Amino acid sequence: MTQRFDSEVTTVCGYCGVGCRLEAHVRDGRVASISPALDGPSNKGHTCLKGRFAHQFSRSRDRLTEPLIREGDEFRTATWAEAIDRIRAELTRIKATHGPDAIAGLASSRGTNEECYAMSRLMRAAVGTNNIDNCSRVCHSPTSWALRKSLGLSGATGSFDDIEAAQAAIIIGANPTEGHPVVGARIKQATLRGLALVTIDPRRIELSDYAVLHLSPRPGTNAAVMLGLAHVVWRDGLLDHDFIAARTEGFDEVQELIATYAPEQVHEITGVPAADIERAAHVYGEVDRASILWGLGVTEHLYGSEVVRLICNLALMTGKVGRPGAALLPLRGQNNVQGSSDMGALPDTYTAYRSVADEDVAQAFERAWGEPLSREKGYTIPQMFGAAVDGRLKAMYIFGEDVAQSDPNTAHVIKALESLEFLVCQDIFQTETTRYADVVLPASAFLEKDGTFTNAERRFQLVAPAIDPPGNAKPDLEIIQMVSRALGHEMGYADSAAVMDEIAALTPEYAGVSHARLGRRGLQWPVAADGTDSVILYRDQFELPGGRGRFAALPYKQPGDAADQEFPLVLVTGRRLQHYNAGTMTRRTGNLQLVDREWLEIHPDDAERLWIEDGQRVSVRSRVGRIEVEARVTDRIEPGHVFTAFHFPEVRTNLLIGSSADVNTSCPEYKVVAVDVRPMAEQPAFTPAVPEPALI
Amino acid sequence: MSGANGAGIRVTVDGSPVEVAPGSTVLEAIRAAGGSVPTLCYDERQAPFGACRVCLVAVAGAPGPVPACTTPCREQMQIDTRDDTARRVVRTIVELVLSELPVAPAPHTELARLARELEIGAPRFTGEVHAPRLDDRHPYLVFQHELCISCGRCVRACDEVQGAFALTATGRGFHANVTAGLDAGFRDSTCVSCGACADTCPTDAITETTLLNLAAA
């Protein structure tokens, strides 16, 4: 192979959280081809069209290659010195006038662990605030919260290898063949070899065709489904009494609660036939090794975090955790969404989820960083936007996130960005968010930098640069260090390996992690000082006081939104195979030839009733916004529901999403939005129904 | 079935003893012993197929050479990777495969490497060769049908690795080839563009647009 290419490196995919190991083949300074690493622990010689093909964005003509500074309504190119000095001057001024808590930063779940750690250090040590968060807030923060409450640690209990080791599995609120294609392929292959699969989703996903059973609950009723499954497991003698007695606490309360969720009652709430609830419980409960996988269809709800605890309940009462094939596997959305939170890019925790109020931990970081650190929790992302609108937050530093496209209640986000006195964006492209920036810093894509990502299996894996950043763009770690230096706080990292060494020294759970030790297969945390990693968690005990897993007696509660007379359909949003989140990368590749527009899936009955034809343009209106999009009539969705994704700025799907959010973690309720859908006039207007930004 | 120390099966590869797990194939035993045997239709990501006969080896007591990839190991099996008959047959097979191609396979391909390994020079056999047929309707994946040798690796990658079931073997004899859907091309079949077919193809009969352009440049 080598003669065709100038160089080849092994790295980790920068798209979803599966963490495929990739071989990048380079010729003439460009990535010519990407192939899967045969020894990749999560991908085993396979990858999807995003990992393999969607890399041309890295040399797209509209990459940011120079720093930009706003002058009036325009951006002008600037030198790095000018841009950094502008940031120094503005942040110093705002900090002097309004205090450090008037400044907030966002780390990126697309960035490396080292960058996220440095970003949190920038905010905590150089600025002096805990106002640091990352986009896991809007996806799996409920999972993180619930797993810590129920089991102790914020991560999958096993690995993707548990898919092949399991005899049965439940997938709830995830569409792996589109959102996590390599895991989707592994699940599909497992079903062909005998895995008994149950899919639970308002849409009939591709894997439903390979499942023994598919349940279509009404959006927002997952809690009732999980309680119903628990009821049947309890009623029909599928409990693991020894496990419950030896390793858990709080089952008595749960037993009282689930007694009231007989399948008939659950049918009333969810619309799922009672017999299907019973059968699903038996598929899971009767075998020795069964796993549960879930995605954002569980978390992005008003009570998403509670549903994750109910998932944990089911595993605890059947003793299906801590063994091969018996795992709880949240499908993490972004390449490093696990790591960005692990690294402490959160307003309330340092690395490994240790509270900012914990005196010992805070003092350890004060000693390491040589600065006094705040013990007060900072703002979460939604709180940042709220604080910006009402004037408490004056400046933001957003690294690698397009909040104006991907966060809910777009109009509110835009108002928040407009309200700021000063906004820094560090990104690889102009985005909907950079329109509101005062300084834009040209950053690096995953193919252009080194460090580590942590995948959905808690696996630290090495990221290596295949190509150089274009023009004067710089690796993000270098940029963050430059800004910190300008603010008077020298981080002094020679390279990303030095950052990881510091993380390991300050974090017992990652004590044995170093770049040298990760090698080709990576390490799954917790990693002991001698380098022993943890493929399966909780083999002997849970990481909670007393070593016991905790049941949670949480009843079903109604979702934050519901269909009514004015908004008779329920919109669910999600992802499509060919594109990725805000589409910033995939829309700049050949994937756009495969899928070049958004569409709204609607059931034939609803379409007929609303006089909507396949391919027709429709207006979708919610309580907070309106979009226009093409309709596609399909029976893969249940009557009463519609589905669309959020990959295209032409269709600002998130204009429709309100501010309703998970009660414990403020993860937005992307998955239940009451809407009114109606056909458009003959002449479609292709202008997006988005408020015009005041700037540009 | 099991050997003296418990679970393993003991065999010899070219005289060297090696112990392998029950169910292991002769090919796995050869590799475990540090030996090698050429393969063509074999990809470790797929179930052994045994179609190409390039991994033929001799096994003591067998009437003729056996394919290493699909033959299970038996206790005390004596495997000979250097058997003259097997080597002669393999060489002829690869020569026949090459003789149907209109051009020599590109140097980086697995088939070209195999030809070099077997020291096959100018083709001994002449006859009809496949006419060039390019299908570049997909943004990333290209068919060069004339290079297809019907090894079945792409079809099995699509079935066994991805599970898209988009590719199908088509035609008979000299006209055997591979197709997406009912000759619909990648885009209009059930293809999910994962590229596992291009990744496994040993001849570039399926390859990537960018790599084709690289070769042309």
**CATH, domain range B134-216:** 3.30.70.20
Q: Do A594 and B139 touch (CB under 8 A)?
A: yes
Q: Do A3 and B108 touch (CB under 8 A)?
A: yes
pLDDT-based confidence at residue B2 (cuts at 50, 70, 90): very low
The pLDDT assigned to A685 comes to 55
The pLDDT assigned to A77 comes to 97
Domains B1-129 and B134-216 share a fold: no
Q: Do B192 and A181 touch (CB under 8 A)?
A: yes
Q: Is B2 on the interface with A (CB under 8 A)?
A: no
* Mode of pairing for the β-strands spanning A132-134 and A103-107: parallel
What is the per-residue pLDDT across B111-136, written as a single tens digit (0 to 9) for each? 999 999 999 988 789 889 999 999 99
Indicate whether A694 belongs to any domain: no
Task: Name the CA dihedral angle for A327, A39, B196, B211, rounded to a multiple of 10 degrees.
Answer: 140
Rounded mean pLDDT, A657-673: 87
Write the CATH number for A32. Answer: 2.20.25.90
Q: Is A4 on the interface with B (CB under 8 A)?
A: yes
Average pLDDT value over all residues in chain A:
94
* Mode of pairing for the β-strands spanning B9-13 and B78-80: parallel
Name beta bridge partners: A427. A442
Q: Are residues A85 and A7 in the same domain?
A: no
Last residue of a domain, one of A482, A508, A534: A508
pLDDT at B183 over 90: no
Q: Are residues A454 and A346 in the same domain?
A: yes
The pLDDT assigned to A227 comes to 98
Q: Do B162 and A32 touch (CB under 8 A)?
A: no
Q: Are residues A600 and A648 in the same domain?
A: yes
Q: Are residues A326 and A340 in the same domain?
A: no
Which residues form the domain of A6? 2-59
Indicate whether A539 belongs to any domain: no
**C-alpha closest to that of A496 among A429, A448, A426, A528:** A448
The pLDDT assigned to A696 comes to 42
The pLDDT assigned to B184 comes to 86
Indicate whether A365 belongs to any domain: yes
The pLDDT assigned to A692 comes to 56
Q: Is A59 on the interface with B (CB under 8 A)?
A: no
With vertex at residue B58, the alpha carbon angle to CA B57 and CA B59, rounded to the nearest 5 degrees, is: 120
Q: Are residues A486 and A591 in the same domain?
A: no
For chain A, how many structural domains are there in total? Answer: 4
Indicate whether A526 belongs to any domain: no
Q: Do B139 and A593 touch (CB under 8 A)?
A: yes
Domain boundaries, chain B: 1-129, 134-216
The number of residues in chain B equals 217
Indicate whether A244 belongs to any domain: yes
Q: Are residues A173 and A249 in the same domain?
A: yes
What is the per-residue pLDDT across A194-204, written as a single tens digit (0 to 9) for each? 999 999 999 99
Cβ contacts below 8 Å, chain A against chain B, sum to 68
The pLDDT assigned to A695 comes to 46
pLDDT at A690 over 70: no
Q: Are residues A415 and A476 in the same domain?
A: yes
* In chain A, % of residues over pLDDT 70: 98
**Three-state SS annotation for chain B:** CCCCCCCCEEEEECCEEEEECCCCEHHHHHHHCCCCCCCCCCCCCCCCCCCCCCCEEEECCCCCCEECCCCECCCCCEEECCCHHHHHHHHHHHHHHHHCCCCCCCCCCHHHHHHHHCCCCCCCCCCCCCCCCEECCCCCEEEEHHHCCCCCHHHHHHHHHHCCCCEEEECCHHHCEEEECCCCCCCCCCCCCCCHHHHHCCCCCEEEHHHHHHHHC
pLDDT-based confidence at residue A1 (cuts at 50, 70, 90): very low
Q: Is A594 on the interface with B (CB under 8 A)?
A: yes
Q: Are residues A455 and A495 in the same domain?
A: yes
The pLDDT assigned to B214 comes to 80
The number of residues in chain A equals 696
Indicate whether A693 belongs to any domain: no
Indicate whether A556 belongs to any domain: no
What b-and-e string marks burial along B40-58, b requiring 16 or more CB atoms within 10 Å of the CB? bbbbebbebbbbbbbbbbb
Rounded mean pLDDT, A78-100: 98
Q: Higher model confidence: residue A615 or residue B4?
A: A615
How many other C-beta atoms can be found within 10 angstroms of the C-beta atom of residue A616? 16
Q: Are residues A53 and A82 in the same domain?
A: no
The pLDDT assigned to A136 comes to 86
The CATH number for B1-129, chosen from 3.10.20.740, 3.30.499.10, 3.40.930.10, 3.30.830.10, is 3.10.20.740
Q: Are residues A374 and A446 in the same domain?
A: yes
Residues A413, A405: Cα–Cα separation, whole Å: 9
Contact between A197 and A207 (Cβ < 8 Å): yes
Q: A93: which residues sit within 8 A by CB, 6+ positions away?
A: none
Q: How far is A72 from chain B (nearest CA, A)?
A: 41
Indicate whether A557 belongs to any domain: no
From the list B108, B194, B210, the residue facing A48 with the nearest CB is B194
Q: Do A53 and B162 touch (CB under 8 A)?
A: no
Q: Are residues A132 and A155 in the same domain?
A: no
Q: Are residues A412 and A352 in the same domain?
A: yes
